[in-house]
Amino acid sequence: MTLFDAGSEIGGQFNLAKRIPGKEEFYETLRYYRKMIDVHHIALRLNTRVDAAMLKQEGFDEVIVATGIEPRTPELEGIHHPKVVSYIDVIQGRKPVGKRVAIMGAGGIGFDVAELISHEGKSGALDIDVFAREWGIDFKNHPRGGVTGVVPQVAASDRTVYLMQRKTDPLGKTLGRTTGWTHRMVLNRRGVRMINGVEYLKVDDAGLHTRINNEPQLFEVDTVIVCAGQTPLRSLYDELQAAGVKATLVGGAFEAAELDAKRAINQASTLAAAV
Ligand SMILES: Cc1cc2nc3c(=O)[nH]c(=O)nc-3n(C[C@H](O)[C@H](O)[C@H](O)COP(=O)(O)OP(=O)(O)OC[C@H]3O[C@@H](n4cnc5c(N)ncnc54)[C@H](O)[C@@H]3O)c2cc1C
């Protein structure tokens, strides 16, 4: 079995997710899979972007296509303005983020980006004292329910962040049932402003122009971060189909609607076991 990746490391989007404060455990997930590749003697070919001709020439009997996604770019006047950046550039630290920021799109990635850019200091996932302070937990005196009753201390952000969505639903409705409320609460405590029912009109030097409740509203921001969803990246799969090579889609390339690595890993493992 051979595993190809165009990137210099395994993991695809998990390499973005692991940089979000609170998701540091994904480093361990990646370390585990990297080790398993050696344990099971899988030939790993990194920095290798494959195409159908190459796979056909090498004579593989089956190809599992896990090429992931492409970020969706909304059609909007000013979308190529220098103040508009993609979540990938922000998470990878390739583009600077100003003090006043609008995030377009409040799905899982929008929330993660809000967390990243409003976060100050150590991550509570890496330091138990920070975690205890953030949630008002007293680990020493064991008061009733473990909580001290004092107001949790969350390090304030020096950025003004607007997290926006077009839908009129409350923000964060699609986040995990057991953890979604914690993300909303933390961002609220840091002063991130959550706005629904936003119609995006254009971006220009003045900022992000919108219409909310039929009223024009300008957000005078320095940076607009686009988190407007993802579409499956299937060009390799389509090429393979055309070349008559047996191929199966898994993960984000199969369905990009939600952030769901569990489904991607399950699909790939089930398929690999059956091949
Ligand atoms: C910020 C962020 C946070 C997330 N948080 C979570 C979370 O908390 N929980 C969760 O379940 N999911 C989360 N996700 C989603 C999760 O990362 C994805 O569901 C998962 O990575 C999908 O895996 P995949 O293998 O389908 O595709 P991807 O991870 O997108 O990987 C695709 C890989 O294919 C490679 N590739 C593409 N074309 C070629 C080619 N022609 N040749 C060779 N290689 C190629 C790419 O280099 C890439 O490494 C998050 C994603 C992001 C961006």
The residue extents of the domains of the chain are 2-70+230-274, 73-120+156-226
Measured CA to CA, the distance from residue 205 to residue 10 in angstroms comes to: 39
* CATH number assigned to the domain with residue range 73-120+156-226, chosen from the 4 options 3.50.50.60, 3.40.50.300, 3.10.20.30, 3.50.30.30: 3.50.50.60
pLDDT over 70 at 186, yes or no: yes
CA-nearest residue, atom 3 of ligand 1: 17
User: How many A from CA of 11 to the centre of ligand 1?
Assistant: 7
Taking the complete model, does pTM exceed 0.85, yes or no? yes
Cβ(261) to ligand 1 under 6 A? yes
Residue type for position 196: N
Query: Can you tell me which atom of ligand 1 is nearest the CA of 235?
Result: 41
Structure tokens at 208: 């992000």
Rounded to an integer, what is the distance from CA 22 to the centroid of its chain?
Answer: 13
pLDDT at site 148: 67
| Tens digit of each residue's pLDDT (9 = 90 or more) over 209-259 | 999 999 999 999 999 999 999 999 999 999 999 999 999 999 999 998 777
User: What pLDDT, in 10s, does the model give residues 78-118?
Assistant: 999 999 999 999 999 999 999 999 999 999 999 999 999 99
User: Is 70's C-beta closer than 6 angstroms to any atom of ligand 1?
Assistant: no
pLDDT greater at residue 156 or residue 171: 171
Assigned CATH topology for domain 2-70+230-274: Rossmann fold (3.40.50)
Mutation pick for ligand 1 pocket among 9, 67, 70 (CB with most ligand atoms within 8 Å):
67
